[in-house]
Amino acid sequence: MQQHKIIDLSKPIQYNAGDPWFMKVKIEHKSHKKSHWLIRLALGLPAKLFPKNWTGWADDRIKSMGLHATTHLDAPWHYGPVVEGKPAKTIDQVPLEWCYGEGIVIDCSHKEDFVGITVEDLKADLEKNGISIQPGNIVLIKTGRDRLMGTADFPNKGTGMSREATEWLIDQGVKVMGIDQWGWDLPLKFMAKRAKELNNPEYFWEGHRVGIEKEYLHIEQLTNLSALPPSGFKVCVFPLKIVGGSAAPARVVAIMDDK
């Protein structure tokens, strides 16, 4: 039987003290001992009928977590209400067939902070590795900025995909792409500052806004891309089925033949 190696590309969902306020995750963990009393009180189960040698079940509750706070898949609805002249898909409307496919890693870890990734950057790495993108491929952009996860620098430093590079991937037949930093574009604060300096209303969030004209999805806050080869693996990125959601957390994994 063929064996497969599964590599986790997802950020742990947990509280990180270094996260900015808008990314804070709060999870309440209820102990086995607490549920022992809740079961008896809520269900009226007499102590003599409570199973012996069992303390009760553990339970947990997500108290606070934004849909974009951890490894997630952005839906077209996130970019705007209309794409290609049609209502944009929310995350529950995204075809699952888009979310599984042959993966490609493009190494852009050489890019400095606040310097955008270009079409030439993508082509150069693909040519170096002898890879041609095929329709349906899931392309993952490695920046190495996953090392900043859990720190205040995470949303404020990094490179980012230019409008042209995003469009080029879509034009190759790529529906789903991803990146291992906070966001798809250059850092938000930098883009806002630069837009003012340039007096250019088209500069801000340019990579995301491609999704208003061409339908595509991207994964943000991936990790562990350094564990992958440039190609020869499959990517699985199934988001939670959140009705009407602009995004959803996803357990993203790469699947390789264990040779």
* Banded pLDDT at 1 (limits 50, 70, 90): low
Angle CA 106–168–90, to nearest 5: 90
User: Phi/psi of residue 188, each to 5°?
Assistant: -60, -45
Beta bridge partners of 235: 101, 254
Q: Would you list the domain boundaries of the chain?
A: 26-64, 72-257
pTM (2 decimals)? 0.95
pLDDT of residue 40: 86
Beta bridge partners of 236: 100, 253
Structure tokens at 230: 């440039």
Query: According to the CATH classification, is domain 72-257 in 3.40.50.12160?
Result: no
In angstroms, the CA 146 to CA 84 distance is 32
Structure tokens at 165: 């590079």
- Looking at residues 64-69, what average pLDDT do you find? 95
Helices (H), 65-176: 76-79, 119-128, 163-171
In angstroms, the CA 182 to CA 118 distance is 18
Per-residue pLDDT for 149 more than 90? yes
